Amino acid sequence: MNNSGDAAEQIVRMSLEGVQMAAKITGDGAERLAKILILALKDTSKSKGKASLSKLLKSNKPIKVFELKDKDLKKFCEAAKQYGVLYHVLKDKGANNGKCDIMVRAEDASKVNRNQSLHVANNNTVNDRASITKSIRRESWPMWTLFIVTGLATGPIEAHFIAMPLICDIFDLDIPFMVGYIVMGIVGILSGVFISHFAQEKYQSADKGWPWLLLFLCVPLLAFAATAVLTAAIALVVGILYIALFVVVLVIGGAIAAACCGGG
């Protein structure tokens, strides 16, 4: 039995054997005991099986990366759960080589190597989060490409029909539309990058990644929202500056008027 399973069994045994003692605890003591048991059980309940990348990296411990054939993935998942191995599947959605990468904690690597049902090849140790994130980004290139191109294509369209007419009307300015095209293109690209960054892990871990690609429809919406917020912020700043200028003029005018009246 693995360490996490032993810990869970001990916690349950302690809770059963100590019922009489726990019954005598009241107030803060009882609440503290309950919190300790709940947190302990929560921690052990997610110590094996498929996990998100954030869960796997939560302990900031080294990560082992193994190569596995797609046909053996189901068998690996079943065995990993049996042997108490926490893992994350990393698959290049744009490649069709029949292989995927399995990420496990370095402390579980011995279980993977020891059990034939978990046997995989080409293991490497990854010690920093940046390397793992870079690897995920590289293998999620279809999502990144689609979202960035969508932002670049829809940005100028939004600028022509929505953003520029709105901004010119609010601020009563005559801004060249080319400036709007460039700015909104950049905003669109940043929107695509933003959504890709937060969706790439789900895209990687999903059995079918294509539904996550439909998030490209959110790219122009995010670009429009960002432009609206930016426009509102600029309008607010301009309004505050006008009010501040008006107050300064009133103060200076009052001071001049007072000086003239006093001198007269």
Q: How confident is the model at residue 6 (pLDDT cuts 50, 70, 90)?
A: low
Tokens coding 47: 């110590």
For the segment 194-227, what is each residue's pLDDT rounded down to a tens digit?
999 888 877 876 767 788 889 999 999 999 999 8
CA distances 130 to 60, 127, 137, 147, Å, are 12, 9, 10, 22
Check if the beta carbon of residue 230 is closer than 8 Å to that of residue 170.
no
Supply the pTM of this predicted model.
0.55
- The DSSP annotation for 52-78 comes to -HHHHHTT---EEEEEEEGGGHHHHHH
The strand pair at 63-69 and 121-126 is best described as antiparallel
Angle at 110 between CA 105 and CA 116, to 5 degrees: 115
Q: Give yes or no for residue 29 having a pLDDT over 80.
A: no
CA atoms within 13 A on the CB side of 47: 19
The pLDDT of residue 132 is 65
Check if the beta carbon of residue 128 is closer than 8 Å to that of residue 153.
no
The 10 Å CB-count burial string (b at 16+, else e) for 132-162 is beebbeebbebbbebbbebbbebbbebbeeb
The strand pair at 49-50 and 99-105 is best described as unpaired
Cα 254 to chain center, whole Å?
55
For the segment 63-86, what is each residue's pLDDT rounded down to a tens digit?
778 788 888 888 888 888 887 888
For the segment 228-256, what is each residue's pLDDT rounded down to a tens digit?
998 888 889 988 999 999 999 999 988 88
CA distance 66 to 162: 49
